[in-house]
Amino acid sequence: MLYIFTATYYEASAWISRYSLKRDTSVSRFQVFYNEQENIRVTITGTGMVSAAAAVSSICTAVLPGKQDFLLNIGICAESPDGQGQIGELFLCHKITETVTSKTFYPDILYRHNFKEAELLTGAKPFQKGMWHRPGFFVYDMEASAIYQAGSYFFSPHQMVFLKIVSDNGCGDRVTPEQVKGLCALHMDSVADYASRLCTIGRVEKGQDFLWDGAVVDKLCCDMCCSATMALSVKQHIIYCQLAGVDFRAVIQEMYQAGKLPCRTKKEGKRCFEEFRQRLL
């Protein structure tokens, strides 16, 4: 299942229309829309970190996610006023920093995509130009860090995706509901395609319908001296390669022939895995 969380109805409206989602009247605390055939559940969290965390915890407790499911947080954001981004541009967030606590979180981006990437800052109030001086480009919202932290009780880092669409640069211009709907609809096709591929990967993993021998993959993880987390990443990369038609077997064979496998230490294993990942992607 795809668990989608947005702060407002206007950010969710394109999903509701595209997949003919129906209101779940059994949920009274939040607006929830779902389609059982499409395996999509959209929740309107409300604005702010407390509301976002409460919504994720409530929904995921009621409908418990599995290892094959994904969390998607999508919505509008502000951008840093350095002119690097443009209104309407979409970013996949590889790093989330909570400004109140300075805590940093890293969603694992294991799957190939065509989106630009950016760091996302989450704050307790709307972004305004001059709030603080921070070098480099970033985007800003008010929910993502809370969604990540609450979601981590139910999802692994590679199961959580954060996509943000620039609506303003903190200069005080009011963003109307119609503008929000238009910005989110603008990227609906590309995001829906990406989400569909993620769900396909989840279904393959759930059914264990792999084209590779599990014993071979277990040996590869052992020869890379993988930790439990790294072993999961190796397996997820191979699942992706299977679906994308990438010849991962040739890469593995070449690394054995070059003497890069097996590894003697975890440090060597990390370097080997990074090379393996780069060659696959």
What is the C-alpha separation between 81 and 117, in angstroms, rounded?
A: 17
Which residue range forms the structural domain that includes residue 245?
A: 211-280
Instruction: State the total domains in the chain.
Output: 2
State the chain's mean pLDDT as an integer.
89
Residues 148 and 264 in one domain: no
149 and 11 in one domain?
A: yes
> Among 155, 183, 205, which residue terminates a domain?
205
How many whole angstroms separate alpha carbon 29 and alpha carbon 42? 14
Mean pLDDT of 25-54: 95
Q: Are 247 and 115 in contact (CB under 8 A)?
A: no
pLDDT attached to residue 204? 62
Say what the pLDDT of residue 206 is: 56
If asked whether residues 47 and 90 sit together in one domain, one would say: yes
Q: What is the pTM of this model?
A: 0.76
Residues 132 and 58 in one domain: yes
The candidate with the shortest Cα–Cα distance to 86, out of 59, 112, 118, is 118
Alpha carbons 193 and 18: distance in angstroms, whole number: 12
Where residue 209 falls among pLDDT bands split at 50, 70, 90?
very low
> In whole angstroms, what is the distance from residue 102 CA to residue 123 CA?
10
Closest CA to 140 of 129, 149, 156, 152: 129
Name which of 162-171, 209-218, 272-281 the model is least confident about: 209-218
The reported pLDDT for the residue numbered 19 is 96
> What share of the chain in percent tops pLDDT 70?
92
126 and 237 fall within a common domain: no
- Which pLDDT band holds residue 205 (cuts at 50, 70, 90)? low
